[in-house]
Chains A and B, each alone.
Chain A
Amino acid sequence: MSLSLMGYRSWQGKLGSSLRSIWPISRVSLQLVFRQKLYWVLYVLALMTFFVFFFGIYLFSQIDTETITPNRPGIPAQTANKFFVDIKNSIQKDLKLSGDVETYRNFYVLQGYYVMVVLAMAGSLIIGNDYRYGSLAFYLSKPMGHWHYLLGKIFTVVIFTALMTFVPALVLYFECSMLMEEGYFWEHLALLRGIALYGLAIAFVLGVLVVTLASAVRRTAPLVMIWIALLAICPVMGNLFVDRLGYSANWRLIDLWNDLYVFGSWCLNISPVPVVGQRGFIRRQPSLTPVLIVLGSVMVFCLVYLHRKIRAVEVVT
C-alpha cells in the first residue's frame, strides 16, 4: 500500500441534517435491486397486467369507433357491429376496461399478486443483506438514527412497489383521459385522488411488511415461502370462514390483501362487496373501521418490532 502523491486534503463544507440520509439509503437500495437482471425480468413480468389493461383500454375505445362506422367492405354492417359489441361487452363485464373506478381497482387487485412475488424476492436484497453482511453497523455508525435507516428502507420498497402499481395506474388514467370521452381528466379528479391513496396504501403496507419480514428472516428462500404463505393462506382461510362456514365477515380481516382491497374501495368510493357468480352470490366484506384497525395494528406491530430489532444491532462489536 502506498500513499498517493496527491496527499490528503481536508473538506471545508457544512454537513446537513440527519434527514438527508434517508434519500441516499433509498437510492442506493434501489440501485442495488435494479443492478440485478433478475429484477428487471420480474419487473417486466409484473407489468404484464399493466400491458393487458393498457391495450385493453385502447381496444375498448377503438371498438366504440368501429361500431359507429357502417358498411365495411366485405362484412355486413350488422354482423360486424354485433361482433364488436360482443367483444366490448365481454371486456366491459370481465375486465371492466371502460376507464371507470372498477378499472383501477381491478388493476390494483390483479397487479398485487405480482407485486407480492417480486417484493418477496427483493426483500432480502433490500434489507436482509444488511443484517447478513453487517452493513447495518455501517449505517448506524453515521450521524443518523435507526428511524432514518428504517424510513430509507421503507421508502425504497414504497418506490419499488409504486413503480409497479401507482405509476402504471397513473399511466392508465392519462391513457383514459386521451382515449375516452372529452373532459375525462377533469371530471375524474376524485378518482385520481383515490388511485393515489390506494396505490400509496398498498406500497406503504407492503413496504413495512416486507421490511419486517426481511429483518426477521433475512434469506431469500424462507422469506419467499413465508411471504407467499402469508398472502396465500390467509385469503383461503378468510374465504373458508366467511363464505363456506358462514362466520362473521370480520373473519376476512385476517387476509391483509383483502383489507387493502376494502380500504382501496373506500378510497375509490366504490362498494367493496362484489357480486360473484350467476346466482348472485355476495362476498360479504368487513366494514372499513375494523379494516383500518387491523391494518393500523399490523403496521404498529411491525414498526415496534423493527425498532427493537434495529436497536439491538451492535454497531461496535
Chain B
Amino acid sequence: MPLLHLNNITHRYGKNVVLNGVTLSLEPGAIGLLGPNGAGKSTLLKILMGLITPTGGEGTLLDKDLRGPAFPRRRLIGYMSEADALVPGLRGAEYVALAGELCGMPRKDASRRAHELLSYLGLDDARYRKLEEYSTGMKQRIKLAQALVHDPPLLLLDEPTSGLDPAGREAMLSLLSTLATQHGKSFLFCTHVLGDVERTCETTVILHKGKVLCQERTESLRGQRDDCFRLSVEGNTEAFQARLLEQQITLKVTEREGWFITLPEPMQTDQLFRLASQSGAIITNLQPDDDDLERVFHRLLNHAPAMPTREPTLLPFAQEPAHVA
C-alpha cells in the first residue's frame, strides 16, 4: 500500500494557484518535504489532513481518498504543528491524554498511553507540570507525544526542530530516526532545513512554486552537492589561492566562515591537498559544505550561482573574493 499517491493535485485560492499539478507517489518511510515559503507545503498538508479539498486532481493517503471524508484519514495521521498549539492550564499528561481522547481513544487508554509516551520521550518528571512552564525543547517533545498518542502510521511534522538548540535538535532528529527505523513509523517532515532532512529522511520531495521540483532518494540529493567544501588553510595561503585559480576551482573567501570551494567535475579532494602542499599551504580542515536549501533549488532549477550565497567579508590578504568562473 503506497503511503501517498497524488495525481495532478491542484489547489487555488481565488486566482492564486498554490499547488499546480502536483504528482507524487511515495512509499511508507521517512520523507522530507522541503520548500521555501509559498512553495505550497502548508496547502499540501492541509489537503492531506482533509482541512481543505483540492480544487483539481485526485489522490490517496494510505488508501483513503483525498476527496473523501476527512476524519477517517485524520485518524491515520498524527500532526505536530510548528506553532505551540498547547492548552494553557493543562498538565503535560492531561494534554497528551486529551489528544488521545479527541482522536477517539477510551479515556483510560488515552491516559495510560500518555504516561507511556511521556516516559518514552523523557518527560517523566514534567508530566504533572503545567504546559506554560515547559521549555521550548519540552514543548516540541510534548507536541510529538500528542501526535503519537493514538499510534498513527503516519506523522505530519511541521518544523519539528524549530526553536531548538543544537543538542535539542540532535535529540529530536535521532528520536525521529528511531521512530522511523525501529518502530516502522512513516513521517512527512516539512522543513526549510536540508540538513535535518538529510539526517532523518530516506526520500526528499522539494516543492517550488506549487510544483514538485524534485523527488529523490536523499542520498542522491546529497551526492549532487559533494563537490562543495569548506576549508581552513594555514601557511602560504596566497600561493594556494593562486593555484586554485589556475585549476579553475571556484573559490570564495570569508573572514568568519573560512574558504568555500566548488571542485570542477572530475577533480577529487586529494588533489586539493596536493595543490596545497605544492603551494606551501596546509589544509587544517576540510568538510563538505552544509549546503543551504536555496542553493539546492538554484541548482535544480539550473540557475546554480557560481558562488555560495553567503555575504563575503574580506580577509586582509584578499581585497576581493578570489574566484574564477
| Chain A residues near B (Cβ < 8 Å) | 1-4, 6-11, 13, 15-18, 20-21, 24-25, 28, 31-32, 35, 129-130, 133-135, 137-145, 315-317
Residues of A within 8 A of B86 (CB): 133-135, 138
Interface membership of B122, Cβ < 8 A: yes
User: In the assembly, what is the distance between CA of A144 and CA of B70, in Å?
Assistant: 9
The number of chain B residues with a CB under 8 A from chain A is: 56
Judge whether B101 and A21 touch: CB under 8 Å.
Answer: yes
Find out whether the CB atom of A142 lies under 8 angstroms from the CB atom of B83.
Answer: no
Known: A1-B141, A10-B151. A137 touches B83 (CB 8 A): yes
Q: Can you name the residue of chain B whose Cβ is closest to the Cβ of A125?
A: B89
A24 touches B98 (CB 8 A): yes
CB neighbors of A among B247-287 (8 A): none
- A24 and B101 in contact (CB under 8 A), knowing A11-B151, A138-B146? yes
Given contacts A11-B109, A316-B81, 18 further A-B contacts (CB under 8 A): A1-B122, A1-B175, A4-B119, A8-B117, A9-B120, A15-B150, A16-B105, A20-B104, A21-B102, A129-B88, A135-B87, A137-B81, A137-B85, A138-B87, A141-B74, A143-B75, A143-B103, A317-B158
Query: Shortest beta-carbon distance, A26 to chain B, in Å?
Result: 11
Looking at B42-50, B235-243, B291-299, B306-314, the stretch in contact with chain A turns out to be B42-50
> Chain A: which residue is nearest B76 at the CB level?
A143
Candidates A6, A15, A134, A315; contact of B103 at CB < 8 Å: A15
Chain B, residues 78-112, CB within 8 Å of chain A (1/0): the string is: 01011111111110001000110111111101000
Chain B residue, CB-CB nearest to A148: B102
| B119-157 to A contact mask, C-beta < 8 Å, 1/0 | 111101000000000000100010000101011000000
Q: Which of B51, B104, B150 contacts A315 (CB 8 A)?
A: B51
174-207 of chain B: CB within 8 A of chain A? 175, 178-179, 182-183
B104 and A17 within 8 A (CB):
yes
Most buried by B among A15, A16, A32: A15
The B contact surface, by secondary structure, is: helix
Checking B51, B70, B89, B175 against A32 with a beta-carbon cut-off of 8 angstroms, the contacting residue is B89
Question: Is B120 within 8 A of A7, CB to CB?
Answer: yes
Residue contact B120 to A8, C-beta cutoff 8 Å: yes
Question: Which residues does B use to contact A, with CB under 8 Å?
Answer: 42, 45-46, 49, 51, 70-72, 74-75, 79, 81-90, 94, 98-99, 101-107, 109, 113, 116-117, 119-122, 124, 137, 141, 146, 148, 150-151, 158, 167-168, 171-172, 175, 178-179, 182-183
Closest to A13 in B: B109
A17 to B71, CA, bound (A): 9
| Beta-carbon contact of A138 and B85 below 8 Å | yes
Chain B residues, Cβ within 8 Å of A142: 74, 99, 102-103
| Chain B residues positioned under 8 Å from A143 (CB to CB) | 70-72, 74-75, 102-104
Contact B104 A16 (CB under 8 A): yes
Q: List 22 A-B contacts (CB under 8 A).
A: A1-B168, A1-B171, A3-B122, A4-B119, A4-B121, A15-B150, A16-B104, A21-B101, A129-B88, A135-B87, A135-B88, A138-B81, A138-B86, A141-B49, A142-B103, A143-B74, A143-B102, A143-B104, A316-B42, A316-B79, A317-B42, A317-B82
- Closest residue of chain A to B150 (Cβ to Cβ) is A15
Q: Within the assembled complex, what's the spacing in Å between the Cα atoms of A1 and B83?
A: 21
Chain B residues within an 8 Å CB radius of A11: 105, 109, 113, 150-151
Q: How far is the CA of A145 from the CA of B102 in the complex (A)?
A: 11
Residues from chain B with a CB closer than 8 A to the CB of A2 are 122, 171
A315 to B122, CA, bound (A): 27
A28-B90, A142-B99, A143-B71 as given contacts; A134 in contact with B175, CB under 8 Å: no
Bound: A317/B51 CA distance, A:
12
Q: Is the CB of B79 within 8 A of A141?
A: yes
Q: Shortest beta-carbon distance, A308 to chain B, in Å? A: 15
Known: A3-B120, A24-B98, A316-B46. A15 touches B104 (CB 8 A): yes
Q: Which residues of B contact A317 (CB under 8 A)?
A: 42, 81-83, 158
